[in-house]
Structure 1
């Protein structure tokens, strides 16, 4: 019989019957099978051989032979078997017995691969309702498994592993951690998120940090899922010279997000003192297209960030900004606070508090054509020192108006015209070398024509 005819006969046989039963019992239709060769045995078993494929929803199965018992509705499958469930789950097996929906059954000599990262090899896998996979005598690793049979760098062996596809969790019974084939420690119970889960409460990868000042220390981060839109990570950092608790808090809102990173320390560098730092950022969308952004950077002492490797900054800046950008207008208002960590700088003599604003508008007058641009900038910075000259405080107002026009002639001459003026006004205090008030007006000269 022609292969194309066999394929269509099998599709017709395995879809019409289950659809009729499903309409009567209210169950979903069974799988659809396609193969190169089909024949029916005396006990009413339909056998498909050669390039066999079965489909059920997002599940796709490929095998050498599939036998379908029309009485029991069971599928007996001979491998090699490949079952893919979406993009994140792949099952390889030598043989299997499954129901028509491919949701329940038994697979022998199987491997479960999650998100192309984690491999679970087991003697057999029991599938239950398409949600649970129970693996027996299992070896789990994310290392590459060599074809020559050598053990991977690390693996977790367990008597039983249950994969909950819905909750995206792995549950281990009688687990032991091995490096190569050497057992390191034993865990009677263990729960881990599978690689497809982005966020789950639990321990993260530990790390070891060694410095000349703090010695060798150990960090063990613990991630806490506080909800669908916020989380907290606590990381104890312990060594012979320090006892530190690091933290990171994140939260997403309907119109924005925030994140704070920091640490609290008691160490031998400054006995009896509390050390720490706090960095934070946030962004929120406001009404009428305005955007609010803020940043916080502060530390207990100038050496703390470098001692603990949190940042290489020698100047910290905190700010809050409200801005709006549209096609023909831009507006921004900002407040900054700067703090120097340099030994050669004195914060009282630096402009640590800064106010800054900007407004720009474009107009297209129909009477004269071209483009009219207007801009106003305001700036003020203040030093906390009251000393003359080194405690100078300055405020500045800058304005600019210009008109631009381009004309193209038939002979290819392009003329760009530009005219305008700008002004500046200054207010300077606590500096006897300058007058307190100063202003100027500067005209803008027209641009020459250019041939293009």
Structure 2
């Protein structure tokens, strides 16, 4: 099988000025130039353009219209091998900035796949998909139904704003419709920070059954944000998770918590709250804050939050230097063990530590002074 690389490069330079300006390279088994305006490449066709690779079985370029007709299977990948688009047929502008693809799949940052009957590219910025199924789950021949997916009549992906807009969105769990939203907006996986829905997740346990989590991220200015995550399970458990983060000039603080109503402990509102903070103090001291509380001993394990049997809340100021360590802290313990009772174990402990290391001078070696009190 002959690979007509050199002839293809020359043909591209003559026939595809838009691509030639960006040093496009075409490789194929055969190339035919018909008349003065049409170039046809067939058999294992590959086009390398702007750091991307387009593979197809046939590409036809019409110089008069500056359009490409591509016969699939079509695969567009980055140099890294990351798949961007798959399709069966396409009609595109020569620079690939606009056009129509049929039976297409759009893959975003290796995290989200959108499969559609038709995909339309406009001005190199927006991609519109019709009759769409979106999921981050792997779909294969042996497992054609993803664990979760979003079905929509229409999806628009804005590459500049890095947002995804769904029309008539339907959430499905193992192929079964769970709930419906007329309009849904979520950031695409490449965007680090924007208000909107995040990727759903699925959790299955023996006590709660299968459930879905749908996080909603809220930007509260340049230095704070809030994430609210409804969590609904098949066994009538409703949970609202929250995470609040704020950065200050001298440190940051994070709050994680949840409120739950379930059948594991009927008639009771369950939940937890964890607080973590770290701040810089004058004279090179640091302040750390840690707070932990929970409504009942089983909650953290029931909801997969933490596998711990004691809660540790503390506030500590410390400083570490080359030959010196100073620490003052207050610690509060809450046991979750059935064999222990919080009324009979030390619940609050305070201690002060001073450690100084020094050279022994002419004697050689070094010595140390350590003072600690509880």
Task: Calculate the TM-score normalised by the size of structure 2.
Answer: 0.74
Matched, 1:357 2:353: yes
Report if the CA contact (8 A) 2:86-2:104 is conserved: yes
Structure 2 residue corresponding to 1:74, chosen from 67, 89, 92: 67
In the TM superposition, residue 205 of structure 1 has moved relative to its aligned partner by: 4.7
Matched, 1:305 2:301: no
User: In the TM superposition, what whole-angstrom CA distance separates every residue of 1:298-329 from its partner, at most 9, and x where no partner exists?
Assistant: 56xxxx2315336644454312132224xx42
How far apart in 2 are the matches of 1:106 and 1:44? 22
Matched, 1:322 2:324: no
Matched, 1:109 2:103: yes
In the TM superposition, residue 357 of structure 1 has moved relative to its aligned partner by: 1.9
Matched, 1:32 2:27: no
1:224–1:345 distance in 2 versus 1, CA, 3 Å? closer
SS of the residue aligned with 1:157? strand
Matched, 1:6 2:7: yes
- Aligned twin of 2:370: 376
- Aligned twin of 1:293: 288
1:19–1:338 distance in 2 versus 1, CA, 3 Å? closer
Report if the CA contact (8 A) 1:223-1:231 is conserved: no
The count of aligned residue pairs is 358
Q: Which has the higher contact order (CA 8 A, sep 6+)?
A: 2
Report if the CA contact (8 A) 1:115-1:196 is conserved: yes
In the TM superposition, residue 3 of structure 1 has moved relative to its aligned partner by: 3.4
How far apart in 1 are the matches of 2:271 and 2:137? 38
How far apart in 2 are the matches of 1:207 and 1:149? 18
Aligned ranges for residues 147-158 of structure 1 at < 5 Å? 147=141, 151-152=145-146, 154-158=148-152
Matched, 1:42 2:43: no
1:266–1:105 distance in 2 versus 1, CA, 3 Å? closer
- Aligned twin of 1:279: 274
In the TM superposition, residue 330 of structure 1 has moved relative to its aligned partner by: 3.4
Report if the CA contact (8 A) 2:229-2:241 is conserved: yes
Report if the CA contact (8 A) 1:233-1:247 is conserved: yes
SS of the residue aligned with 2:110? coil
Structure 1 residue corresponding to 2:58, chosen from 65, 81, 106: 65
In the TM superposition, residue 344 of structure 1 has moved relative to its aligned partner by: 4.2
How far apart in 2 are the matches of 1:345 and 1:205? 36
Aligned ranges for residues 159-308 of structure 1 at < 5 Å? 159-178=153-172, 186-198=180-192, 200-202=195-197, 205=201, 222-227=215-220, 229-234=223-228, 247-253=242-248, 256-262=251-257, 278-285=273-280, 290-298=285-293, 304-308=295-299
In the TM superposition, residue 127 of structure 1 has moved relative to its aligned partner by: 0.8
In the TM superposition, residue 351 of structure 1 has moved relative to its aligned partner by: 7.5
Report if the CA contact (8 A) 2:19-2:49 is conserved: no
Q: Which runs of 5+ in 2 are unaligned?
A: none
Report if the CA contact (8 A) 1:56-1:102 is conserved: no
1:334–1:19 distance in 2 versus 1, CA, 3 Å? same
1:219–1:337 distance in 2 versus 1, CA, 3 Å? farther
- Aligned twin of 1:427: none
Report if the CA contact (8 A) 1:54-1:61 is conserved: yes
User: In the TM superposition, what whole-angstrom CA distance separates every residue of 1:54-94 from its partner, at most 9, and x where no partner exists?
Assistant: 34434331222323333332222222211125766521112
How far apart in 1 are the matches of 2:70 and 2:45? 10
Task: Calculate the TM-score normalised by the size of structure 1.
Answer: 0.63
Report if the CA contact (8 A) 2:18-2:95 is conserved: no
Q: Which protein is bigger by CA-based radius of gyration?
A: 1
